[in-house]
């Protein structure tokens, strides 16, 4: 199968390498920034281009691996001559954005991907959606070869998956940074709490988060929580976050 990558970032990097390893041919890599296209194209032994009109119309699959913000404008600029299936890789963008194409779909990985960090795609449950059952089955077949956990999902299910990933990954990562900053202010190493981060992550692999919830809010320890709030008096945003999450834990009785 001949594939064109539209985009040269993290998702394009990992999907390009994965699909190539499965025996497919990445014929072109497009990016508005020529250097970025050349960088990934060199890795994939393919042609680099920075003009949409130079993209081959005969590919079997076109992967739109760009940011959510850039996707609507890009779709409006796509040549009508493309014959293959066109898919985007966004969790929050509806399938219908591509409705002017004959065959279109979505391949969404609920994973934080970085091109400089090796990632085993076989461990990622890609959410797949097509504009017809035929397209869905086609995409599932291609993705299952490199990501066996791939599954069919509607636009609404994919949005829920994306939102869940934001809470579980993006928000928790921001909490890690606050924790690291609190330690740094007292000349304490972040290494001191990395074990508890791993322990919590390991626990929820087999149990519900509500079953392993601990801490002063879970115990309704008002005295300790007030000490924490007093400690954070110079950081009102952190105080607000602490109060909101503590209230949620107490209200949820978890």
| pLDDT score of 253 | 65
Last residue of a domain, one of 117, 136, 153: 153
Per-residue pLDDT tens over the stretch 74-131: 999 999 999 899 999 999 999 999 999 999 999 999 999 998 899 999 999 999 999 9
Predicted confidence (pLDDT) at residue 58 exceeds the cutoff of 80: yes
Mean pLDDT of the chain: 96
What's the predicted TM-score (pTM) here?
A: 0.92
- Average pLDDT, stretch 163-178? 97
| pLDDT score of 252 | 82
For residue 30, what are the β-bridge partners? 6, 49
Predicted confidence (pLDDT) at residue 254 exceeds the cutoff of 60: no
Last residue of a domain, one of 109, 132, 153: 153
For residue 88, what are the β-bridge partners? 64, 106
Task: Using alpha carbons, select from 16, 10, 14, 48 the residue that is nearest to residue 31.
Answer: 48
> Which residue range is the domain that position 234 belongs to?
158-252
* Shared-domain flag, residues 53 and 123: yes
CATH number at residue 179: 1.10.1040.20
Last residue of a domain, one of 108, 135, 153: 153
* Domain total in the chain: 2
* Shared-domain flag, residues 70 and 120: yes
Per-residue pLDDT tens over the stretch 241-252: 999 999 999 988
């Amino acid at each position: 199968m001949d594939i064109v990558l539209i985009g040269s970032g993290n998702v394009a990097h990992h999907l390009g390498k994965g699909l190539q390893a499965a025996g497919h041919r990445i014929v072109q890599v497009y990016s508005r920034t020529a250097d970025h296209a050349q960088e990934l194209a060199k890795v994939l032994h393919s042609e680099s281009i920075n003009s949409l009109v130079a993209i081959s119309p005969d590919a079997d699959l076109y992967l739109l691996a760009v940011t959510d913000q850039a996707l609507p404008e890009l779709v409006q600029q796509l040549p009508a001559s493309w014959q293959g299936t066109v898919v985007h890789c966004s969790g929050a963008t509806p399938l219908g954005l591509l409705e002017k194409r004959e065959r279109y779909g979505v391949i969404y990985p609920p994973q934080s991907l970085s091109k400089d960090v090796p990632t085993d795609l076989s461990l990622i449950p890609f959410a797949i959606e097509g504009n017809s059952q035929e397209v869905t089955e086609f995409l599932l077949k291609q993705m299952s070869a490199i990501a066996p956990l791939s599954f069919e999902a509607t636009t609404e299910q994919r949005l829920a998956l994306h939102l869940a990933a934001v809470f579980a990954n993006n928000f928790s990562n921001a909490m890690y940074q606050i924790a690291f900053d609190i330690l740094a202010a007292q000349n304490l190493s972040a290494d001191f709490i990395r074990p508890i981060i791993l322990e919590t992550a390991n626990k929820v692999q087999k149990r519900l988060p509500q079953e392993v919830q601990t801490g002063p809010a879970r115990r309704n320890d008002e005295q300790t929580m007030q000490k924490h709030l007093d400690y954070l008096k110079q950081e009102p945003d952190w105080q607000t976050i602490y109060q909101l999450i503590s209230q949620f834990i107490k209200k949820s009785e978890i």
